[in-house]
Structure 1
Amino acid sequence: MSYAILGTGALGGYYGACLQRSGLDVHFLLRSDCDRVRTHGLVIESPDDDFTLPQVNAYNDTAKMPQCDVVVVALKTTQNHLLPKLLPPVVKDDGVVLVLQNGLGIEAEVARIVGNNRVMGGLCFLCANKVGAGHILHLDYKEITLGEYTPNYLAGGISARMRQIAADFEGAGIPIKLAEDLLLARWKKLVWNIPYNGLSVILDATTNELMADNSACNLVEDLMREVVLGAQSQERHIADKFLVQMLDHTVKMKPYRTSMKLDYDQKRPLELEAIFGNPLQVARNAGVDLPKIATLYQQLKFLDAKNRQANF
């Protein structure tokens, strides 16, 4: 299958480069570094294997891109207002949009553009940073969990196209898990995203610093347990052993500055609604309050607004 990567940052750049290196037809949408990548290609540094793609299909406009079988949305959710313009030119009539973004409720936005039966979600457990134009530094982990989107997030099972896309990614060296229930998979990803992304900004800390301090680590666990309550409000159960697994993974991972902390430090808008606001609203609609997450959300909104004002 052919692949379009909308958003060639750390995530889109890394996965897209791996797919191209495996021999697949991949097309990349870029912004400021489009000319640089068109001329010099993509550079990937990784503990697995450093490699360079000297020639890539680089574009600054989806209208100039060929229609593809799989369109990977790897933009920040703060740019999703652009999707009604970006998606239609690049998705084949029988193609699928794979949403590789953090947060809750985002597939529904995409489905309103391309149709309910043409959307799939993906949850990435990837530590990677974009360190320069066309230059991606992969630090640790790279697994993706795939799930089919269905209206109202009913469990969609495992489809043939999920297996086909999984085979492409696995052929590119990316471990894949197939989820029968995308909504459960999204809540499970929030178990990590809400505490670590949020606290990395509030406490000005890397993941290893959060885990090395007892007070911060206890707060991480408290926030994780509130995410579990949020999932329960939608009749999704997350076992305690999953929380232990996430804590263990984080202790073992290389010191990491989260994507939200990087955005904050570079004075970019933070992905607050998808990661914090939407889960809080869903839980409130079900009569469940998540007070510590709500406090974190309010603090982050203040810091985000102040940070962006300083940028003007």
Structure 2
Amino acid sequence: MKIGIAGTGAVGGYIGGILALANHEVVFLSRGTNLLRMQERGLKIKNPVNEEIIYKAFTHSLDTFSDVDLIILSVKSNDTLIMAKQLSHNISSSTPVLLMQNGVSNEDIALKYFDPTRLYTAAVYLTSRMTEPGIIEVSGKPRLTIGSLNSGNIEEAKSLTHLFNEAGIQSKTSSNIMQAKWKKLLWNVTFNPLSAYAGVTVGQIINQQELREIAERALVEGMQIASHKGFYFQDELINQIFVGARKADNHYTSMLQDRLNGKQLEIESICGYFLKEATKRGISIPVIQSLYNHLATLKKEAFR
């Protein structure tokens, strides 16, 4: 299968790399120093046991995506609109597109540019980090939950799940994928904004009482918004998220990685999304609001 990776960061690079190692033809879309380094020396994926170097097609041109069998869209949420527009002009309308991104707002954007019957999304649980251009470090066991945005496409979603399982990435199919995506979003709003603002890992948030209390309050606020959107979670989810996060003690969240690398933060797709939904309903979510304000200040300072 020929697969196009639209966004070769810590997620897209790892997923594409594993698919390449499983003998699929993979084309990686990237730019800047990351692209140059991969063109020079390949894409290196390191785990605690070994490392692999992938020598494939690394490009900045979407022309090479015209005949792919599957697109994996893994750019940052800030770039979804532009990338979706560009892809829609470069691929067949029948080409399946699988989103691997944070948040739950990217799906609404993608639906404007791709055939809903060919659009899929995934909740991605992956502790990966691009430590330098062209080098990705990963720990733990990556997991994917995959589903179709068209309820009638469950068999096609199962085929995608099979593709990743065959490649060695633990995957399952969901008939209610947006419920799964909301659960991941709640994980994100618990850890991502606070880790980026405080400059700490997931484990440091869990272990420091003050930080943990802030994270728990952000999670509760997020669950409140989720329920208003029709996605209901039991209070036991709070404990589940913190217990599960122990597996990622040393993990630099994607937002913290972006801050350290001087990249734009996904403020709007995480904090901003909750604030918009809260405003519509006249609900106060002070912790998420405070985190948003602090991160917005950091953003302004970074780009002065």
In the superposition, the TM-score normalised over structure 2's length comes to: 0.92
CA distance 1:131–1:229, shift in 2 (3 Å):
same
Partner of 1:80: 80
Which residue identity does 2:42 align to in structure 1? Answer: G
Q: Choose 224-233 or 203-212, whichever is displaced more.
A: 203-212
Q: Deviations over 1:180-218 (max 9, x none)?
A: 223222221122111211111222211121111112112
**2:250 aligns to what SS in structure 1?**
coil
Percentage of matched positions with identical amino acids: 25
Partner of 1:51: 52
Matched residues, number: 303
Partner of 2:199: 204
Which of 273, 276, 288 is 2:268 aligned to? Answer: 273
Partner of 1:26: 26
Partner of 2:12: 12
Say if 1:194 and 1:275, in contact at 8 Å, map to a contact too: yes
**1:128 aligns to what SS in structure 2?**
strand
Which of 233, 251, 258 is 1:256 aligned to? Answer: 251
Unaligned 5+ segments in structure 1 are: 151-155
Say yes or no: does 1:282 pair with 2:277.
yes
How many Å separate the matches in 2 of 1:250 and 1:239? 18
Partner of 1:295: 290
CA RMSD in angstroms, aligned pairs only: 1.9
Q: Deviations over 1:107-137 (max 9, x none)?
A: 1111111232222111211111112232111
Within-5 A mapping of 1:1-312: 1-32=1-32, 33-47=34-48, 49-53=50-54, 55-150=55-150, 156=151, 159-309=154-304
How many Å separate the matches in 2 of 1:222 and 1:48? 37
**2:111 aligns to what SS in structure 1?**
helix
Say if 2:127 and 2:140, in contact at 8 Å, map to a contact too: yes
Q: Choose 285-294 or 296-305, whichever is displaced more.
A: 285-294
Which residue identity does 2:45 align to in structure 1? Answer: I
CA distance 1:196–1:60, shift in 2 (3 Å):
same
Say if 2:204 and 2:249, in contact at 8 Å, map to a contact too: no
Unaligned 5+ segments in structure 2 are: none
TM-aligned CA deviation for residue 272 of structure 1: 0.9
Partner of 1:153: none
**1:296 aligns to what SS in structure 2?**
helix
Q: Deviations over 1:80-125 (max 9, x none)?
A: 2421443125433321111111012211111111232222111211
Q: Choose 134-143 or 89-98, whichever is displaced more.
A: 89-98
In the superposition, the TM-score normalised over structure 1's length comes to: 0.90
How many Å separate the matches in 1 of 2:276 and 2:155? 33
TM-aligned CA deviation for residue 157 of structure 1: 6.6
**1:95 aligns to what SS in structure 2?**
coil
